[in-house]
Each structure stands twice: as structure tokens, then as C-alpha cells.
């Protein structure tokens, strides 16, 4: 899916060590989060990665990582002062 391909839960499950039902549940959750799009083609539900949403998710994670890094640095400074 990362290469821009679309597929059904069955097609993805064939390449993964999980059941089709488990893959379908994961894809449904990803679709609700906006990370994948889904479209019905006949009887099939096809899924495709939504790269724009991943960019937003990456930016959010980077903000959190920066915030945690700053918090941990302050904690380390505080601990170092108490050790003196």
C-alpha cells in the first residue's frame, strides 16, 4: 500500500501474517482516522493510502517528540542539580 497501490483486505492479508478479518478491521480503523481511503468497486472494497494524512500525522509526532525531548532535558538538568 505504501507504493500507491490499492487493494482489498483479502489481497493485503495474503501478504501478511494475519487473517483477512484482522486486516479488514485494521483497514477500517485506518479509514476512520483518514489515513487510508476506501472505495467500493462492485462487490469489493478497495483501500489506498492517503499520503496527505500521513504528512499531518508525521508533523504531529515530530511536535510531540520535540516537546518530550525538551521535557526530558529539563528533567535531566533538575536531577543533575540535585546530585551536586
> Can you tell me the distance from the alpha carbon of 8 to that of 17, in angstroms, rounded to the nearest whole number?
16
pTM above 0.85, yes or no: no
What are the sequence ranges of the domains in the chain?
1-49, 51-84
The predicted pLDDT at position 70 comes to 95
Contact 47, 37 (CB under 8 A): yes
Contact 29, 21 (CB under 8 A): no
Q: Which three cell numbers stand for residue 80?
A: 543533575
Residues in the chain where the model's pLDDT stays below 70: 1-3, 83-84
Q: What architecture does CATH give domain 1-49?
A: Orthogonal Bundle (1.10)
> Can you tell me the distance from the alpha carbon of 5 to that of 45, in angstroms, rounded to the nearest whole number?
14
Task: Express each pLDDT in 58-79 by its tens digit.
Answer: 999 999 999 999 999 999 998 9
The predicted pLDDT at position 84 comes to 60
Q: Which three cell numbers stand for residue 56?
A: 499531518
Amino acid at each position: 500500500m505504501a507504493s500507491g497501490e490499492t487493494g482489498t483486505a483479502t489481497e493485503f492479508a495474503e501478504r501478511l501474517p494475519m487473517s483477512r478479518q484482522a486486516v479488514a478491521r485494521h483497514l477500517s480503523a485506518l479509514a476512520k482516522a483518514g489515513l487510508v481511503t476506501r472505495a467500493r468497486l462492485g462487490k469489493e472494497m478497495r483501500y489506498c493510502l492517503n499520503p496527505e494524512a500521513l504528512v499531518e500525522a508525521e508533523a504531529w509526532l515530530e511536535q510531540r517528540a520535540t516537546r518530550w525531548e525538551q521535557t526530558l532535558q529539563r528533567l535531566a538538568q533538575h536531577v543533575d542539580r540535585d546530585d551536586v
